[in-house]
């Protein structure tokens, strides 16, 4: 069996097990409702339903762990398998939502028909939390890239100077370090962490990563090309919070390494991501910029979603909002991780997840994302 077939058959069996579980709850609910089986009550079924949810649509569900395994498939199969995975997950979520609603009305029905109604106890559910807007945005972005054949990678938030800067072609004292206001840790790592690279005391210094680009280095050190990956995660900069900046924010990094990759592939990828995530009315444009780890480099901007491009205060009247940076992987970076730049080429991009949420939901001030005010959060 090919790897893809094996993946799909595991997905199919997780799918049918999940449906079976759901079906059994639905059948019991029917039996209880028609009076065939008096012992069935809606709150017991709700408990069973919650166990089902935890098992099949929760963080540890087979579908969630299969998502992590997508990266092991080759890029062509990954696109198909990723789309199939999204389809199964959406179907399970839809069905769960539907059954959940039926259970709530069944519980309401039982309450109303019982003679001992305690009028002070009207609330059916206590206040329920839900996934934070940033995490929702991150999940949606991951799904878009999985649909395009990318795998998901992660890297540590505490990094060494080498991963965050040096391997990315930013040696000590390079003026580009000024782009990042870095939080350093007092500790540093002793010895080398990477077999064949020279160790200097400065490259072992620990810091909070200022961008997700070090995950490019981890990924290229660990996997051989072709590579198609995105890496979402938290990053840290010593910025004073204002309407457009927060010192802890989230980025999603993208990296493609393959043969004959060109700037046109990069531009096309960014445009297709933009329309998939923001919709047909939002476009992207690239403007020349500088990053030490890409050459040539560009900044990418999207149509301002708040004014649909006509110009407003948020976009300073330009109609465009900067989302992130991108470019062709610099040959020096390839050399640091032992990839031959004569054979392979690639592009990278990195952009703000918080900024995507801001554009998608027209948030005037980004600080609401950190304030944990329930009145804001419950709207999403
Ligand atoms: N890491 C850059 C930043 O945080 C963005 C970037 C990523 C630029 C990848 C080019 C390529 O500003």
Considering the domain architecture, whether residues 364 and 227 belong to the same structural domain is answered as yes
Residue 83: inside a domain, yes or no?
Answer: yes
291 in ligand 1 pocket by Cβ < 6 Å?
yes
What would the mean pLDDT of 85-105 be, rounded to a whole number?
90
Query: What is the b/e burial string over 337-350, where b = at least 16 CB atoms within 10 angstroms of the residue's CB?
Result: bebeeeebbbbbbb
pLDDT at 195: 45
pLDDT tens sequence across 40-51 = 788 888 889 999
pLDDT tens sequence across 109-156 = 776 776 566 667 666 666 778 899 999 999 999 999 999 999 999 999
Quickly list H helices, the chain.
3-33, 42-56, 62-69, 75-113, 133-147, 161-164, 214-222, 263-278, 331-336, 353-360, 368-371, 374-377
pLDDT higher than threshold 60 for residue 199: no
Residue 3 binned pLDDT confidence (cut-offs 50, 70, 90): confident
pLDDT tens sequence across 243-291 = 777 889 999 999 999 999 999 999 999 999 999 999 998 999 999 999 9
pLDDT higher than threshold 70 for residue 192: no
| 296 prior amide bond cis, ω within 30 | yes
348 in ligand 1 pocket by Cβ < 6 Å?
yes
Ligand 1, closest atom to CA 210? Answer: 4
Residue 207: inside a domain, yes or no?
Answer: no
Residue 2 binned pLDDT confidence (cut-offs 50, 70, 90): confident
Considering the domain architecture, whether residues 19 and 140 belong to the same structural domain is answered as no
Q: Which domain holds residue 229?
A: 135-155+222-377
Total domains present in the chain: 2
Residue 262: inside a domain, yes or no?
Answer: yes
Q: Lowest mean pLDDT: which of 2-11, 77-86, 181-190, 193-202?
A: 193-202
Considering the domain architecture, whether residues 115 and 141 belong to the same structural domain is answered as no
Residue 203: inside a domain, yes or no?
Answer: no
Considering the domain architecture, whether residues 114 and 140 belong to the same structural domain is answered as no
Considering the domain architecture, whether residues 88 and 17 belong to the same structural domain is answered as yes
Q: Which of 86, 31, 25, 78 lies closest to 55 in space, CA to CA?
A: 25
Task: Look at 189 and 48; give whichever has higher pLDDT.
Answer: 48
Residue 100: inside a domain, yes or no?
Answer: yes
pLDDT tens sequence across 43-83 = 888 889 999 999 998 888 898 889 888 888 888 888 889 99
Considering the domain architecture, whether residues 67 and 151 belong to the same structural domain is answered as no
pLDDT tens sequence across 297-336 = 999 999 998 888 999 888 889 999 999 999 999 999 999 9
pTM, two decimal places: 0.73
Residue 191: inside a domain, yes or no?
Answer: no
Distance CA 205, CA 132 (A): 33
326 in ligand 1 pocket by Cβ < 6 Å?
yes
Residue 178: inside a domain, yes or no?
Answer: no
Considering the domain architecture, whether residues 278 and 344 belong to the same structural domain is answered as yes
| 2 prior amide bond cis, ω within 30 | no
Q: Which of 170, 177, 181, 213 to mutate to test the pocket of ligand 1 (most atoms within 8 A of CB)?
A: 213
Instruction: Name which residue sits closest to atom 9 of ligand 1, judged by CA.
Output: 349
Residue 196 binned pLDDT confidence (cut-offs 50, 70, 90): very low
350 in ligand 1 pocket by Cβ < 6 Å?
yes
């Amino acid at each position: 069996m090919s790897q893809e077939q094996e993946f799909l058959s595991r997905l199919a069996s997780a799918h049918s097990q999940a449906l079976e579980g759901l079906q059994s709850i639905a059948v019991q609910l029917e039996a209880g409702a028609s009076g065939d089986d008096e012992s069935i009550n809606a709150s017991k079924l709700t408990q069973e339903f919650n166990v089902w949810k935890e098992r099949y649509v929760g963080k540890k569900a087979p579908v969630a762990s299969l998502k992590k395994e997508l990266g092991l498939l080759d890029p062509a199969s990954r696109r198909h398998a990723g789309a199939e995975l999204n389809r199964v997950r959406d179907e399970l979520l839809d069905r769960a939502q539907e059954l959940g609603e039926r259970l709530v009305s069944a519980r309401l029905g039982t309450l109303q028909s019982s003679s001992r109604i305690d009028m002070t106890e009207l609330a059916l559910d206590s206040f329920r939390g839900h996934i934070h807007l940033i995490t929702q945005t991150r999940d949606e972005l991951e799904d878009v890239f999985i649909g395009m054949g990318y795998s998901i990678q992660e890297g540590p938030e505490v990094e060494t100077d080498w991963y965050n800067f040096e391997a990315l072609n930013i040696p000590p004292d390079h003026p580009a370090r000024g782009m990042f206001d870095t939080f350093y840790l007092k500790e540093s790592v002793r010895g080398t962490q990477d077999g064949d690279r020279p160790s200097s005391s400065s490259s072992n210094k620990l810091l909070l990563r200022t961008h997700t680009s070090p995950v490019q280095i981890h990924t290229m050190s660990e996997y051989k090309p072709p590579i198609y990956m995105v890496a979402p995660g938290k990053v840290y900069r010593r910025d004073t919070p204002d309407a457009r900046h927060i010192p802890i924010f989230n980025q999603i990094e993208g990296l493609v390494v393959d043969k004959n990759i060109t700037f046109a592939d990069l531009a096309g990828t960014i445009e297709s991501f933009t329309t998939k995530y923001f919709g047909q009315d939002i476009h992207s444009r690239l403007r020349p910029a500088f990053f030490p780890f890409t050459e040539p480099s560009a900044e990418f901007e999207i149509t301002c979603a708040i004014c649909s491009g006509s110009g407003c205060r948020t976009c300073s009247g330009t109609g465009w909002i900067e989302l992130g940076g991108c470019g062709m992987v610099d040959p020096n970076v390839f050399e640091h991780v032992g990839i031959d730049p004569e054979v392979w080429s690639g592009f990278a991009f990195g952009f703000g997840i918080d900024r995507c949420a801001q554009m998608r939901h027209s948030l005037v001030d980004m600080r609401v994302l950190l304030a944990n005010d329930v009145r804001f959060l419950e709207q999403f």
